[in-house]
A and B are shown apart, each in its own frame.
Chain A
Amino acid sequence: MYLLLLPRILALIMFIGISLPLSSWAFDLQIVDQKGEPVKNAVVSVPDGNIEAVNAVPAIMDQVKRQFKPLVLAVEEGREVVFPNSDNIRHHVYSFSEPKKFQIKLYKDQPKKPIKFEQGGVVVLGCNIHDSMIGYIFVSPWPSFQVSPESGRVSFEGSPKDVAIWHPWVTGLKKPKLISFSELKKNNFKIQLLLTPPKQIKKLKSKFNKYYDK
């Protein structure tokens, strides 16, 4: 029972931390891309502590208009995620990622049961029918993590040794990257990421002629 309450307490604490910005152990982080624009969907976590309580309510990774929504979902280890289908077509959600391999074969509406993510890491979601559908579930082994909203701004309490940051569009970033607090301070709590958005897959056929057409 207490264990179940813990996240709530934590959430409450976090809420107090946010609501009390002048508190000596709270800090804001601004995440920007190479152009200085705010970056959303970055997962920022504090690599410290153990998960003491798992939210019993499954997290939701919706599929809307042939896109995973949200693009990036962060959950703590052991959390369950449901994959509702808001489209009126079927999807075949799968993952070949090491932390959690699974597939939910062609379905509509709610799948029969949620998937439980017990191992930390990045799980890349795909749809076997729609190649363009890519989603990410960040399974955090630490209790403190946030996904950056549109503003690219996240807040944390205290003054941890490091923070960890991950974004699906940072090339080659398979694990969260650690940034020391002192460096954060030095950078005025601003983190800049080099983002490479996935390309739209072009029609290769149109490029074909160039080898023969001189």
Chain B
Amino acid sequence: MNLSLRNKILRLFLGLMILSSVATISSVLLATDASVERQAQDKLDIGKRVFEQLMQNRSQQLFGSAEVLTADFGFKGAVAQGDKGTILSVLENHGARIDADLMMLASLDGELIARTDVSTASANVFPFAHLLSQAEADGGLMTVAMLDGKAYQLVLLQVTAPRPIAWAAMGFLLDQPLANQLKSLTNLEVSYSGIGQGNKGIVISTMPEETHDRILNEKMQSNDQVNINDKPNLKHMRFGQDEYLSLYVPLIETSKYKVNAFLSTSLSEARNNFSPLKIQILLVSFISLIASVIGAFLISSNVTRPIKNLVSAAQRISSGDYSVDLPLVNNIKDEVNVLASSFNVMQKGIAEREEKILHQAYHDTLTGLPNRMLATQEMKKLIAMCRDSESCFALMSVNINRFKQINDTFGYQTGDGLLKAFSLRLAEVNKGENFCARLGADEFFVLIQSEDHINFSPMVEDFVQCLSNSYFIDDFEVTVSLRVGVAIFPVHGDQTGQLLRRTEIALNDAKQKKREIQFYEQGSDAKHLNRIRLINELKQAISSDHLVMYYQPKVDLHLRKVTQAEALIRWFHKELGFVSPEEFIGLAEQAGLMPALTRWVLKTVIEELSSWLKDGVDIAMAVNLSAYDLAHDDLPDYIDELLVEYDVPATHLILEVTESAVIEEPEQAMNVLHRFKKSGIKLAIDDYGTGYSSLGQLKSMPVDELKIDKSFVLKLEQDTDDQVIVRSTIEMGHNIGLTIVAEGVETKAAWELLEEYGCDKLQGYFISKPQSPSDFLQWYSNYSVDE
């Protein structure tokens, strides 16, 4: 990331520099090219004017000479008299004066009279007869003409005596010396090209030989529109390395021949004049490019180095190393430094907070003792250590007996004070030798090392003795008793979890047996594990269909028929078979499964009841509630919803609660019971006679029924004490307006006694055991009370 940032900066700088260099160079190149072109054009323009002036001067010279010739009286006379000898001599004489290349005389009809150049093939013909009509019309002619593959500047003038009698022609050859002379005057390359009938064309030029063909061809294309900046006569001509700009000057074009001039200037040469400048500019651009590369590299490094530092600092922090501070550069308060110092502050803060969090994570906030996590770690270490040294240690789980009551009695502040004092005492007793921790509310944890596990018993006893002494908290003297579970490594286990669990089991045993110290007993663990397994399976059973409801009828002795049934839960375990409700309901309470279980039962029963009522089975259903169910507010709403959902009248539902369930949280339980009552649900006190409640208490409860516990009924006909209790209970119950139900009716004698005592409803094996819904319905349809 660091590298790519630097690269980005570098790339940006380089891109900009290259762009500007290219722009500069190309603009210079374009400008010089344009300048070269323009200068060449200017040069050609000027050269053309000079060229034309020179050509004109030559024509004027010719013309002047011709005028002198044709005005010569002697010449006129010679012509008039046809004196050829004289004529030729006069022509030669005049020609020599101006160094003319061509001197001729022809009749008005175009017949040759005389000519000085007799060496050529067409010596006896006047070659310019075709020009005479034009010359006559204009009174003379200055032109350029081709003759025998050569181009001439030509003047035709009449000889008059005084009427016209002949034509005189004088000409200058357009030859190499002329081209050279013109070149030296115009500083341009000068070329003449001429094409006549029947010859391949001639080129007179100061340009190199190899360009001549091209010059001739250019002339051939002269009629094409070749435009350079709307200057039709300008042409670029390239010969190998050399490029010329040429100005095309047409001199004459007739049906018989064409003569043109080319003025050329070398662009390559002109460009070469600029090449030192170009090299300089390229050099400057290159140097500035190198300089900017170095500059960009330095800048990008300067920018990215602190970022790199920050990145590695962040990586260091994330890996948990807070020791190194970022260096501040030059003490300047720039962004990078501010960021770096912020980083340092942040790092320090993180380190402090982490230390605090770590301490909190491993220590108890109230007492400052290590917590369960640290205890577990410590124990792992100790196990490893003891394994190596083949020594052993005891793991003590220490509980303050009835700490809740202390809390309730003295208040939480005192409770907390006790815990702190207890912790201090613990540390004191240990003298730093043993490891102590607080695992939970009043649960402490001590590791005692020893060479031999037989020594543990007195050690633990001493320990407990010291801790059990009175504590003075806020002027209160608090006496505590302890419950201590002990497991020994490696005797009771060599794994952390195993040891902890077994210590816990030992502690539970101590609590149940109300003993101060309980060492783990072999085999306790299996029972414990069995419970845990059952709890897990119960969870699954609730969600699947391994739980079923059985129904046991109650007979109304006044109406003499079955009016109610008690719903009883049954668990048929696929391996264990029938599991007793007492067992698994106890488990469910401990495992917090009661809400789910109760809801399942209520839903199943009400659904069943709904279908029975529809089938005309007019029975009210009784469901047992636990203390847990009464301790929570949400059950009444749930039942109301169920009744509405399955269209069951509230009067057909009876909720049975035990005395003890009400007594645990009386206010809360009463509140819930009243809400049931308000919905129209009937309430019954179950197992009456086993608890401590008085009839006075019952009176204040919104109950309708009292169920006499079966322990009073089972042996009723034999036990007279039971007879007295049952009889008086029925009477007293009736007195406060309750319906009395007797459970556990197993014999006809019991039935008759109860009927005699005035009991309202009977329930028991004598009538029917609990049955599955289908069996129950079948039984119900056949049953009659008086048979």
- Give residues in A with beta carbon < 8 Å to B: 92, 94, 96, 101, 124-128, 131, 133-134, 198-199, 201-202, 204-205, 207-209, 211-214
Q: Which of B59, B77, B139 contacts A96 (CB 8 A)?
A: B77
Distance of B504 from chain A, by nearest CB (Å)? 124
> B682 interface residue, CB < 8 Å from A?
no
Q: Which residue of B lies closest to A212 (CB)?
A: B52
Instruction: State whether B56 touches A204 (Cβ < 8 A).
Output: no
Instruction: State whether A211 touches B60 (Cβ < 8 A).
Output: no
Closest 7 CB pairs of A and B: A126-B162, A96-B80, A212-B52, A204-B140, A96-B161, A134-B162, A128-B73
Q: Which residue of B lies closest to A105 (CB)?
A: B73
8 new A-B pairs (CB below 8 Å) besides A131-B71, A199-B139, A207-B138?
A: A124-B161, A125-B162, A126-B160, A126-B161, A202-B138, A204-B63, A208-B142, A212-B56
> B143 interface residue, CB < 8 Å from A?
yes
Q: Assuming A94-B73, A134-B163, is B143 touching A211 (CB within 8 A)? A: yes
> B144 interface residue, CB < 8 Å from A?
yes
Instruction: State whether A207 touches B142 (Cβ < 8 A).
Output: yes
Instruction: State whether A201 touches B139 (Cβ < 8 A).
Output: yes
Q: Which residue of B lies closest to A135 (CB)?
A: B162
Total chain B interface residues with beta-carbon distance under 8 A: 29
In the complex, what residues of A have CB within 8 A of residue B389's CB? none
Distance of A214 from chain B, by nearest CB (Å)? 7
Instruction: State whether B59 touches A208 (Cβ < 8 A).
Output: yes
Interface pairs (27), CB distance under 8 Å: A92-B73, A96-B80, A96-B161, A96-B165, A125-B162, A126-B162, A126-B163, A128-B73, A131-B160, A131-B162, A198-B163, A202-B138, A204-B63, A204-B139, A204-B140, A204-B157, A205-B63, A207-B142, A208-B56, A208-B59, A208-B63, A208-B142, A209-B56, A211-B144, A211-B252, A212-B249, A214-B233
For A128, A204, A207, A213, which residue has the most chain B Cβ atoms within 10 angstroms? A204
Q: Which residue of B lies closest to A213 (CB)?
A: B52
In the complex, what residues of B have CB within 8 A of residue A207's CB? 138, 142
> B280 interface residue, CB < 8 Å from A?
no
Q: Which residue of A lies closest to B59 (CB)?
A: A208
Distance of B61 from chain A, by nearest CB (Å)? 12
Instruction: State whether B250 touches A214 (Cβ < 8 A).
Output: yes
Scoring B residues 569 to 603 as 1 if CB is less than 8 Å from chain A, else 0, what string do you get?
00000000000000000000000000000000000
Cα–Cα distance between A213 and B53 once the two chains are bound (Å): 10
Q: Which residue of A lies closest to B251 (CB)?
A: A211
In the complex, what residues of A have CB within 8 A of residue B163's CB? 124, 126, 134, 198
Q: Which residue of A lies closest to B141 (CB)?
A: A204
In the complex, what residues of B have CB within 8 A of residue A204's CB? 63, 138-140, 142, 157
In the complex, what residues of B have CB within 8 A of residue A101's CB? 80-81
Cα–Cα distance between A133 and B162 once the two chains are bound (Å): 8
Cα–Cα distance between A126 and B162 once the two chains are bound (Å): 5
In the complex, what residues of A have CB within 8 A of residue B249's CB? 212, 214
Distance of A131 from chain B, by nearest CB (Å)? 6
Cα–Cα distance between A124 and B140 once the two chains are bound (Å): 22
For A127, A128, A202, A211, which residue has the most chain B Cβ atoms within 10 angstroms? A211
In the complex, what residues of B have CB within 8 A of residue A92's CB? 73
In the complex, what residues of A have CB within 8 A of residue B52's CB? 212-213
> B90 interface residue, CB < 8 Å from A?
no
Cα–Cα distance between A202 and B52 once the two chains are bound (Å): 23
Scoring B residues 129 to 156 as 1 if CB is less than 8 Å from chain A, else 0, what string do you get?
0000000001110111000000000000
Instruction: State whether B76 touches A96 (Cβ < 8 A).
Output: yes
In the complex, what residues of A have CB within 8 A of residue B144's CB? 211
Distance of A69 from chain B, by nearest CB (Å)? 16
Scoring B residues 44 to 76 as 1 if CB is less than 8 Å from chain A, else 0, what string do you get?
000000001001100110010000000101001
Cα–Cα distance between A207 and B55 once the two chains are bound (Å): 14
Q: Which residue of B lies closest to A168 (CB)?
A: B163
Name B's interface SS: mixed
Cα–Cα distance between A96 and B160 once the two chains are bound (Å): 10
Cα–Cα distance between A92 and B161 once the two chains are bound (Å): 12
Q: Which of B56, B139, B162 contacts A124 (CB 8 A)?
A: B162
Distance of B409 from chain A, by nearest CB (Å)? 133
In the complex, what residues of B have CB within 8 A of residue A212's CB? 52, 55-56, 249, 251
In the complex, what residues of A have CB within 8 A of residue B251's CB? 211-212
Distance of A129 from chain B, by nearest CB (Å)? 9
Instruction: State whether B76 touches A205 (Cβ < 8 A).
Output: no
Cα–Cα distance between A196 and B296 once the two chains are bound (Å): 93
Cα–Cα distance between A96 and B83 once the two chains are bound (Å): 13
Cα–Cα distance between A212 and B143 once the two chains are bound (Å): 10
Instruction: State whether B71 touches A205 (Cβ < 8 A).
Output: no
Cα–Cα distance between A94 and B72 once the two chains are bound (Å): 13
In the complex, what residues of A have CB within 8 A of residue B63's CB? 204-205, 208
Q: Which residue of B lies closest to A127 (CB)?
A: B162
Distance of A108 from chain B, by nearest CB (Å)? 19
Instruction: State whether B71 touches A208 (Cβ < 8 A).
Output: no
Distance of B472 from chain A, by nearest CB (Å)? 134
Distance of B324 from chain A, by nearest CB (Å)? 90
Q: Which residue of A lies closest to B156 (CB)?
A: A204
Q: Which residue of A lies closest to B163 (CB)?
A: A124
In the complex, what residues of A have CB within 8 A of residue B160's CB? 126, 131
In the complex, what residues of B have CB within 8 A of residue A127's CB? 162
In the complex, what residues of A have CB within 8 A of residue B233's CB? 214
In the complex, what residues of B have CB within 8 A of residue A133's CB? 162
For A198, A205, A208, A213, which residue has the most chain B Cβ atoms within 10 angstroms? A208
Cα–Cα distance between A27 and B163 once the two chains are bound (Å): 34
Distance of B59 from chain A, by nearest CB (Å)? 6
Distance of A207 from chain B, by nearest CB (Å)? 6
Cα–Cα distance between A202 and B135 once the two chains are bound (Å): 12
Cα–Cα distance between A198 and B63 once the two chains are bound (Å): 22
Cα–Cα distance between A211 and B58 once the two chains are bound (Å): 13
Q: Which residue of B lies closest to A134 (CB)?
A: B162
Distance of B298 from chain A, by nearest CB (Å)? 65
Instruction: State whether A202 touches B73 (Cβ < 8 A).
Output: no
In the complex, what residues of B have CB within 8 A of residue A205's CB? 60, 63
Distance of B22 from chain A, by nearest CB (Å)? 43
In the complex, what residues of A have CB within 8 A of residue B55's CB? 212
Q: Which residue of A lies closest to B137 (CB)?
A: A199
Cα–Cα distance between A170 and B140 once the two chains are bound (Å): 21
In the complex, what residues of B have CB within 8 A of residue A213's CB? 52
B148-179: which have CB < 8 Å to A? 157, 160-163, 165
In the complex, what residues of A have CB within 8 A of residue B56's CB? 208-209, 212
Cα–Cα distance between A202 and B725 once the two chains are bound (Å): 174
Instruction: State whether A202 touches B139 (Cβ < 8 A).
Output: yes
Distance of A196 from chain B, by nearest CB (Å)? 11
Cα–Cα distance between A202 and B250 once the two chains are bound (Å): 26
Cα–Cα distance between A213 and B52 once the two chains are bound (Å): 8
Cα–Cα distance between A127 and B140 once the two chains are bound (Å): 21
For B73, B143, B252, which residue has the most chain A Cβ atoms within 10 angstroms? B73
Cα–Cα distance between A199 and B233 once the two chains are bound (Å): 37
Distance of A19 from chain B, by nearest CB (Å)? 38
Q: Which residue of A lies closest to B80 (CB)?
A: A96
Q: Which residue of A lies closest to B71 (CB)?
A: A131
Cα–Cα distance between A127 and B163 once the two chains are bound (Å): 11
Q: Which residue of A lies closest to B66 (CB)?
A: A204
Q: Assuming A96-B76, A96-B165, A124-B163, is B250 touching A208 (CB within 8 A)? A: no
In the complex, what residues of A have CB within 8 A of residue B252's CB? 211
Cα–Cα distance between A126 and B164 once the two chains are bound (Å): 11
Cα–Cα distance between A137 and B252 once the two chains are bound (Å): 43
Cα–Cα distance between A198 and B136 once the two chains are bound (Å): 11
Cα–Cα distance between A165 and B163 once the two chains are bound (Å): 20
Q: Which residue of A lies closest to B51 (CB)?
A: A212
In the complex, what residues of A have CB within 8 A of residue B165's CB? 96
Q: Which residue of A lies closest to B77 (CB)?
A: A96
Cα–Cα distance between A101 and B81 once the two chains are bound (Å): 10
In the complex, what residues of A have CB within 8 A of residue B140's CB? 204
Q: Which residue of B lies closest to A130 (CB)?
A: B162
For A125, A205, A213, which residue has the most chain B Cβ atoms within 10 angstroms? A205
Cα–Cα distance between A205 and B52 once the two chains are bound (Å): 14
Cα–Cα distance between A205 and B56 once the two chains are bound (Å): 10
Scoring B residues 597 to 638 as 1 if CB is less than 8 Å from chain A, else 0, what string do you get?
000000000000000000000000000000000000000000
